[in-house]
Structure formats: C-alpha cells, structure tokens
A and B are shown apart, each in its own frame.
Chain A
Amino acid sequence: PPEIRAATRARTRSGPAPVTDVAKLCVCDLLVAQCDVNCCCDPDCNAADFSLFTTCSVPIVTGDSRLCSQKAAIYSLDVEANPPERIFKLIDQVNPSVFCIHATNYKQALSFSSPEMPTSENFDQLLKRFSSATFSAEPDSWNMNTDAQNPSDANETYRYEYGVPIQTADAFLRLPSPVVSSWCSDANPAGFLVNQATKCTRSVSVENCGNIQAVSMLFYINSSILAVNITVQSIVVQSLNGMRTLLNGSDVLRLPMILDELCINIVLGVSYHITYTGAGEIIEAAASFVLGAINKEALSIQQSFEISFTQVNTKPVPLSGNPGYVVGLPIRAGFRPQGYPFPIEIFFVALNTNKYSQLTILQSTSNQDCLAAQGARTPILFGYNMISGCKLRITAAMKCKPLTQTLLDLLKGQSFPEYVASFGNSQSQDVLDWVPITHLHTSEQRIYNTFQSSCHIPVSLEIEVKWTKYGSLVNPQARIVNVTASITTTILKQLPSRRERTIPITSSVVFTDISSPAEPGYKAWPTINAKLPFDFFFPFV
C-alpha cells in the first residue's frame, strides 16, 4: 500500500550529509579527540601543540579547483615567531582560465553521488544491478522456481560429498564412538569418504545379553543405505582367551544367545567397507564382524568400529597426504614393471598395501650386531631425519662377495624401490608424479690404484630426500623433488687369521627443504581509457 511505502521511504536512512565547508575539512585529522602531528587544520590541537610542529602537512584545503571562484583555507606555520604559531587564512581563490565553471545547474556535478541505501524493498533490484558472480548460499536444488529442476530427484541415487553423513532408510549410518567418556554413544554418523576407526566401551551382562541391541549383529546390518543393502562380508569369532577364528559361511546371522553361562555372538567389532563411484554414489556396502563371548563376571566390553571407503574399480592405496606429504606419514615408493620404455600404461606397483614397508631403512637393534639383525626395518616417515646402524664383526674367514651382498641387503632391505611418489596422493597411473631414486657410489678412501682385487664393502647408505613447498603461500604442500641414495664403500683389507675387526655400518635419511622463497606478484598498472563514445556524433557520422 502506498502509505506504507511512503513511510518506508521516509524511514530510509541516507548517508551522512557531505561536509563542504573548507574551514571545517581536515584530511589529516585521523585521531579522534587527539592532536595529530603536523596537522595544522586539526581542531583538537591547541596553541601549545602548534608550537611543536615543524611543517604543515596539509597547507591548503580547497573545493573543486575548476570553479571560477571558490573558498580556500590556507594553513601555514609562522616559524619566525617565538613560539611558532599557526596561521589560518580563508581566502577566495580565482581560477584565471576562461573555461572555469561559472555555475552548474546539475546538483551532482562536482561531488560524488551518495549511494542508494539498501532497504528491504530495493535490495533485490540493487543486487541485480551491482552484483557480479557470487556463490549462492543455497544449493540450487532448494530453489523451487528454477525451470531446469528435475522433480523426479527423489528416486535417483543420492550423490554424496565429502563429510556428508551417509543416509540410511530411517536415519544415518551410525558408527558408535566414545563421547566425553569412553562409553559408546550411538549418535555418531559416518561421513562419506571419512575413514574412521573408533573404540568404545559398552556395559553388558550375561543376564540381558539378548536385550541389548547394540551387541547384536542385526543392529548393524538392519538399516540399508537407501538402495544398497549392507551385506555381511566375514565373521570372525573370538573365544574367551582371545583366539580368533574366521568362520566359513558368512551369510548366517548369528544373534546373541546364552550358552553354558556364557553369552555368545556378542559383537566386539564391526568394520564397514563402502564402495563408491567417482560420481559420489554408494553402490556397495559390506560389514565384517568380530563376535565374541562374555562370562558372568564381565560388566562391560570394548567394541571397535571402523569404516573405510574404496572407489569402485580401484585398489585401495593408503595416502600419505593429500596432495602434499604430511609429516610423519610414510613415504610411498614402488617399482616400474620391466618392458619397452613408455608402454601404453605404466603402473607403479606399490610394494604391498602395507604402507609402512615401502621405503625402509635398517632398524637398530639392542645387540647392535649386523648379522644378527634379522631384517628388522623401520619405515621412512616424511620429515623425520633418521640414523641407524649396527656393528659388523669381520673375521678372517669371511669372503668378500658374500659379505658385500649381505651388507647391501642389510642396508637396502629386501626390495629397495626404484621410484618414490612425489605427492602423498600420487596415483600409480600418473607416471610424471613419481621420482626415480638416484644411486650414487662413493668410496671412503681415495682409490690411488685401481686394483680390482681389493674388496669394497658398503658401509653406509645415506638417503637424501629433497622436497619443496608447492602450491599457495597460505597452505603449502610438501612435494618430493629428488631422492638420492648414496652408498659409501670402504676397502676391506684381508685380515690375518684368527683376528677380528669391527666396523660400524650406518644408514641415514635426511630431508632437505629446497623450496625457493615466494615471489610477490603485482598487478599491472591501470591504463587510462579515454575515448569519445562510439555514437557521439550520431546524426552526422
């Protein structure tokens, strides 16, 4: 109704009225209620302050200089006087040009226009006029007015995004987890693509073992993830003394029941494996159970839950970072299958899916004897410099070649990889994301004579990993650029019989940051674009 509209217009706030009196304008008056230094027009300054100034930072305040006659306020410091004082003059400045503006009949000619204040009425129209591309706060599917909406979305499979809770028929797929204390809470929804593993305690007793829902298999596979049923992948039965056996037939639902004063078929652990497609749909869900038994004395059990996501048609490879390496996660490494260089598909086989045994170094043992080390190895974690070693006791009876081979095996391990992943999430199909390991051989002593008969045995392996920071300044990602494995050999002199010698064998890993410092980038200078409008002389041109 027009009355309300008029009232709203009256209520519309407008910006503060612009100050046009040159005597009151002061550009350098920045501090409120305080005197700004060297600001002669500051009204907060008194004569004592003026006497301390050296110059006037703002000597003149004028209006638009294109006007024929305008007022100007001139501030200056009279340094001759003692103490120095400020002189303020208000004069009429005259523009001598013949093209000075005598008068204007256009109100907004010489000042910036006050912008329209947005109100609830004109907000949409202002937004349409002035806004550029924005991200919309509401997803398009909530807007019922768009024409391109497909109303039959209800029956299609849902597409998930990272972290979105997985929906089941009645609620969300739950992964019980401890909240505050270690008691299980059933309200933790499983997020899509969020691999979780939780452990919590649940109170049970033999008397009501059939009544507690959360220890029964049915509770975990009852709900179907919308179109996909949860199948039972495997069942492992754990006996009272902790021994686990895998059951052969896994399609039988085993519910808790009392048998010989024990309550059996109690769920001790569930592991969900969800298969998803690249488009974000869940196509398969499987659960593996660990069932156990409790006796009369047990008051609570510990349950462990796990959920993992695998993309369809891929083998799950654990990542060490996404995309840059995360400090503390193992380095991913692998081999390239032999074949003609650049075959159609090159796949780097990660050593095995155990991510901790891809690139390893010797692990020091307590007895420090290399030959008794028994192949204990420790994985190389990104960012952690490590050094390890052992002592090798050489007797006269040892032959050179087998000793060399043994030491090489000791230092490098059983299968030393050829390539290292440059990012924590490098896929094996991307050849360029893998960095070859460069091997160097150095000798401890300078070889003066090239006697082939002398025995060179490797005594140290140093792996140097050069990495750089990659990506944006705010969130740099670690990227491995170069890996060099240097083996240092020494000459083994033949020992007289029944003599022994001990030499130390070391292996080390060093991570060096070779990132170059960030360079600032600046925008190009703006250019002046002054042209007559295209159709200015319209009737004539």
Chain B
Amino acid sequence: LSSVPLQMLFYVNGIYYIFYFLATLAMIVYKSQVFSYPDDFLAPDLALLFIMAILEVLRLYLGSKGNLTEEEAPLGLSLAITVGSMILSVYFLVWQTYVLQADVIINAVLLFTYGLESVLKVIAIAAFVS
C-alpha cells in the first residue's frame, strides 16, 4: 500500500522547494550587488543551485512514481538522489561564499524535510519489498 505520509511530504516538499529555489536565487542576486562577489565564486554557486533544482524535480518525480506504483526501484533511485540533494543542501548551508542567516534557516528546514523523507522512503521500500 502506498505511503500516504510520504506522498504528502512529497507534495509539501515540491511547494517548499519552489520557494527555496526562488529565495536562494534572489539572495544570490542580493549578495552579488551588496557584497564583493567575484565571478569565479558566483558561477559555482549558481551552477549548483540549478543542478540542485534539476535533481529535485527528478527526485520528486521518481519518488512519487515509485510510491504510487508501489515499486521499490524508482523509490531506491530517489533515495540515492536524495543523498546528493542533501550534500548540495549542506553546501548551501556551510560552504557557500556568503551564508546569510536566512540561508541557514531555509537550508535547515530543507535538510529536515530530506531527513524525514529518507526515513519514510526506507520504511516504504521495506514495505514494498516484503
């Protein structure tokens, strides 16, 4: 049986991620105007943000599909991608060029969401496998 909490979490995650993406992009624009943000520090930050967006879309699609069709393969793939997304989130939390307080807050929330999702996915996979 599909996990309803997991599906709800995917839905909330999707909405939250849109907000997160726009907020981070806006803050990078703000930082580049107010602080001294040379190009060779700006480029990796922007690139990673877009990569994270692509990974997120992929991850949510695969996870949602796996959960609804009760297959563990897409769900497992989604879990793997979640690890990547987590690393990227940690990057934005700790290793970004400028880490603002707002960055800390939204990344913390994102990490918490990922953590919760991972736990639910593992439970779902365990449920589907058996």
Contact = CB atoms under 8 A, between A and B. Distances in A.
Interface in A228-280: none
Interface in B16-31: 27, 29-30
B95 interface: yes
Interface size class for chain B?
20 to 34
B100 A109 contact: no
The interface residues of chain A, by DSSP majority, are classed as loop
Contacts, number: 45
Interface stretch (B76-84, B102-110, B114-122): B102-110
B36 A105 contact: no
Contacts of B32: 536
Interface string B36-56: 110001000000000000000
A530 B34 CA distance: 10
A98 B27 CA distance: 11
A106 B97 contact: yes
B99 A108 contact: no
Interface string A395-412: 000000000000000000
Nearest to B35: A109
A101 B100 contact: yes
A105 B100 contact: no
A104 interface: yes
Nearest to B34: A66
B110 to A, nearest CB: 16
Contacts of B100: 98-102
Contacts of A68: 101
Interface residues of A, number: 16
B30 to A, nearest CB: 7
Nearest to A95: B101
Nearest to B96: A105
A532 interface: yes
B36 A109 contact: yes
A329 B41 CA distance: 71
Contact of B101 (A102, A104, A109, A530): A102
B130 interface: no
A516 interface: no
B94 interface: yes
A65 B104 CA distance: 18
Given A106-B41, A109-B35, A109-B36, A98 B101 contact: yes
A103 B36 contact: no
A101 B101 CA distance: 6
B95 to A, nearest CB: 6
Contacts of A105: 95-99
A338 interface: no
Contacts of B35: 109
Contact of A98 (B97, B99, B102): B102
Contacts of A101: 98-101
Given A108-B36, A109-B35, A109-B36, A97 B101 contact: yes
A100 B100 CA distance: 5
B36 A104 contact: no
Nearest to B100: A99
A99 B41 CA distance: 19
Nearest to A103: B99
A104 B98 CA distance: 5
B80 to A, nearest CB: 27
Q: Which of B27, B29, B98, B102 has the most CB of A within 10 A?
A: B98
Contacts of B27: 99
B102 A109 contact: no
Nearest to B102: A98
B105 A98 contact: yes
Contacts of A536: 29, 32
B91 to A, nearest CB: 10
A99 B36 contact: no
B13 to A, nearest CB: 23
Contacts of B37: 106
Given A99-B30, A532-B33, A109 B97 contact: yes
Contact of A99 (B94, B96, B101): B101
B51 to A, nearest CB: 14
B104 A104 contact: no
B104 to A, nearest CB: 5
A92 to B, nearest CB: 15
Contacts of A99: 27, 30, 100-102
A102 B95 contact: no
The 3 closest A-B pairs by CB, nearest first: A103-B99, A102-B99, A106-B97
18 contacts: A68-B101, A97-B101, A98-B100, A98-B101, A99-B30, A101-B98, A102-B103, A105-B95, A105-B96, A105-B97, A105-B98, A106-B37, A106-B41, A106-B98, A109-B35, A109-B97, A530-B33, A532-B33
